[in-house]
Amino acid sequence: MSQADTVTRILDSAEELFAEKGFAETSLRMITTRAKVNLAAVNYHFGSKKDLIQAVFARFLSPFCSKLDKELTVMAAANTEPDLRDVLDVLARTMLTGVHSTVGTRKLSVFMRLLGLAYTQAQGHLRRFLKENYHETYSRFILYLRAAHPELSPREIFWRIHFAIGACVFTMSSIEVLRDMSMADTGEDSGVEDVMNQLIPFLAAALER
């Protein structure tokens, strides 16, 4: 087994388990067992559990953000005055293509769940790491949102977009629970795609009102 294999297998297992259980509830022993590597491999290749957490985020956020950056540039070049739909379309398309990442397909729910963890379970080290590495792209995205709605104050833009993020992240974070509840309530199963198809108009209505 090559080094790349070991590192990748650890990242894969860690990503799955973090998304499923959170950081504290996932032990290095679970990760290394699932990855079929030795326990010490995590500390050897990554240094510590904290560094592993950061590496998991880096692996999907770095390609995602550079893709988003490129797409924003394309958008800005094509259209002198991008409206809200344009900006959100760029985000949505980048997310969907970013999900089908370099190595196979990453589930959208895993992506969302990790994003949710970043907000709700981020200890100091992760928050600092994310800000340091991805704040630039984030600011740029927000800037285009502002440009699309110059009549709204920056504060209004900020909060509306974070309400929307909340609806997405919460929904996708607890998608299994919610699907169970929906099943119990309505008697019908809701596929993840059904949910997305309802979520998008919901968000559009809330953002554009």
Per CB under 8 A, residues contacting a copy of itself are 22, 24-25, 116, 119-122, 127, 139, 142, 153-156, 158-160, 162-171, 173-174, 177-178, 181-182, 185-186, 188, 190, 194-195, 198-199, 201-203, 205-206, 209
Q: In terms of CB distance, is 70 or 127 closer to DNA?
A: 127
> Which of 14, 17, 19, 42 is the binder for DNA (CB under 7 A)?
42
How many other C-beta atoms can be found within 10 angstroms of the C-beta atom of residue 88? 20
CB of 43 to a copy of itself, least distance (A): 21
Q: How many residues does the chain have?
A: 209
CB of 72 to DNA, least distance (A): 36
Name residue 54's amino acid: Q
Q: In terms of CB distance, is 17 or 168 closer to DNA?
A: 17
Distance of CA 131 to the CA centre of its chain: 14
161-190 binders of DNA (CB under 7 A): none
> Which of 11, 19, 28, 88 is the binder for DNA (CB under 7 A)?
28
Q: In terms of CB distance, is 7 or 157 closer to a copy of itself?
A: 157
Instruction: Choose the stretch contacting DNA; rule: CB under 7 A; options: 42-50, 65-73, 138-146, 197-205.
Output: 42-50
3 state SS of 26:
coil
Q: Give me 121's structure tokens.
A: 């379970």
Residue 126 makes contact with DNA by CB under 7 A: no
- In a 10 Å sphere around its CB, with 0-12 CB exposed, 13-18 middle and 19+ buried, how is residue 91 labelled? middle
Cα angle 145, 87, 19 (rounded to 5 degrees) comes to: 95
From the list a copy of itself, DNA, none, partner contacted by residue 148 (C-beta under 5 to 8 A by kind):
none
From the list DNA, a copy of itself, none, partner contacted by residue 77 (C-beta under 5 to 8 A by kind):
none
Closest by CA to 111, choosing from 92, 98, 120, is 98
Full DSSP string of 45-103 = HTSSHHHHHHHHHHHHHHHHHHHHHHHHHHHHHH-SS--HHHHHHHHHHHHHHHHS-SS
3-22 binders of DNA (CB under 7 A): 3, 5-6
> Would you tell me which residues interact with DNA (CB under 7 A)?
1-3, 5-6, 26-30, 37-45, 48-50
